[in-house]
Copies of this chain bind each other. A is one copy, B any other.
Amino acid sequence: MKNTTIKTIAQVTSLSLTTVSRVLNGSAKKYRISEETQKLVLKAAAKLNYAPNRAAVSLRLKRSFSVGLVIPTLSNPYFADVASMVSHALRAKGYSVVLMDCDEDENSEVEAVRLLVAQNIEGVIIIPSGAASAHIDTLLQRKIPVISIDRYHEDIPVSYVATHHYEGAYDITKYLLQAGHKRIACLQGSNSVVSNNLRVKGYTDAMKAAGCSVFSVAGNSFTSESGYIETKLLLQKKDRPTAIFALSDTILLGALKALEEDDVRVPEDMSVVTFDNSSYLDFLACPITSVAQPVNDIANISIKILLEQIEAHLKGTEVQQMKLLINPSVVYRKSVKKIGKGRPGRLV
């Protein structure tokens, strides 16, 4: 049982390839093909279980109807959430999603982009794993629409939709400061990533604005291991911090483990806040106050822009760079203790 093609149907119906093609891809009306003929073709197609050959259509139309989704790793629930939303929205619009999990590795990401290009992908949604931007610039030069999510590059004209990392970090640091903390440690992720650096800047600026010297910025990756090690180190200092700001929930988990091992209680002995707002924060020994990223908005806006750009690209219109920063909110829980004489309470 060979695969059914329009040729098969043409033979069966004694019509030309053109006519068959036209009714099968919905342009029957445009070419005023008779109802009769249409029915004939449709019936034959149904009977023979016809499905158009995507490769052929793709080759001919120079369209692939698929977009690439490049992600550092799905093991990170935040990225997984983005991926989930993006994949839904895209599917609803008739696009296939080609997934590239890069394991937080830049080389893997470069390779992923190469593969996507070879697949004539029509657009790319990417959460960069590092600072490298040349491969993304390649896409831009090929006029392939790209939306960078969460992390982005300022050195190339790529559109992006991201959390306003700076603000989120600034706000939550300010909250800590107003609760009376002065020695606030910052546990960072990879410093080759903009989102991390903006968060760090939000933290340091807030500290400075409050007249506090920056206590410490430690760590080097968005992992529990990094959070664990740096917290262990922090606890060794004679001048311990009174609060810790973990720049991601993964880092937080490692920090909590270190605190627990050394019998440091949250929030009694150490206040802790984080960035991401994973659903499990509510259920931790002490529910942790966190900056919540607007995942839904980010995903939806990204898709909207990407589709518009793809549309524009097809029409030959010049696509415009979009730069959107979405304000995050702080979800207050129980992990911050008011100390000293600082003005306590929630910030609004």
Contact = CB atoms under 8 A, between A and B. Distances in A.
Nearest to A54: B119
Interface string A69-108: 1000111010011011001100100001111110100000
A87 B87 CA distance: 15
Given A54-B118, A87-B99, A253-B280, 19 more contacts: A1-B142, A3-B142, A53-B59, A53-B118, A55-B59, A55-B64, A56-B59, A74-B74, A74-B81, A74-B87, A75-B77, A75-B81, A83-B99, A88-B101, A97-B98, A98-B99, A253-B282, A253-B283, A285-B285
Contacts of A131: none
Interface in A261-298: 278-280, 282-286
A221 interface: no
Contacts of A98: 66, 96-99
Contacts of A117: 51
Given A74-B81, A224-B279, A284-B284, A52 B118 contact: yes
A33 interface: no
Nearest to A52: B118
A200 B278 CA distance: 29
Interface in A109-139: 112, 114-115, 117-120, 138
A118 B5 CA distance: 11
A257 interface: yes
A228 to B, nearest CB: 11
Contacts of A55: 54-56, 58-59, 64, 120
A80 B91 contact: no
A256 interface: yes
Interface string A195-212: 000000000000000000
Nearest to A3: B142
Interface in A182-198: none
A82 to B, nearest CB: 9
A286 B285 CA distance: 7
Contacts of A83: 74, 80, 99, 101
Interface string A26-56: 0000000000000000000000010111111
Interface string A209-239: 0000000000000001000000000000000
Nearest to A84: B74
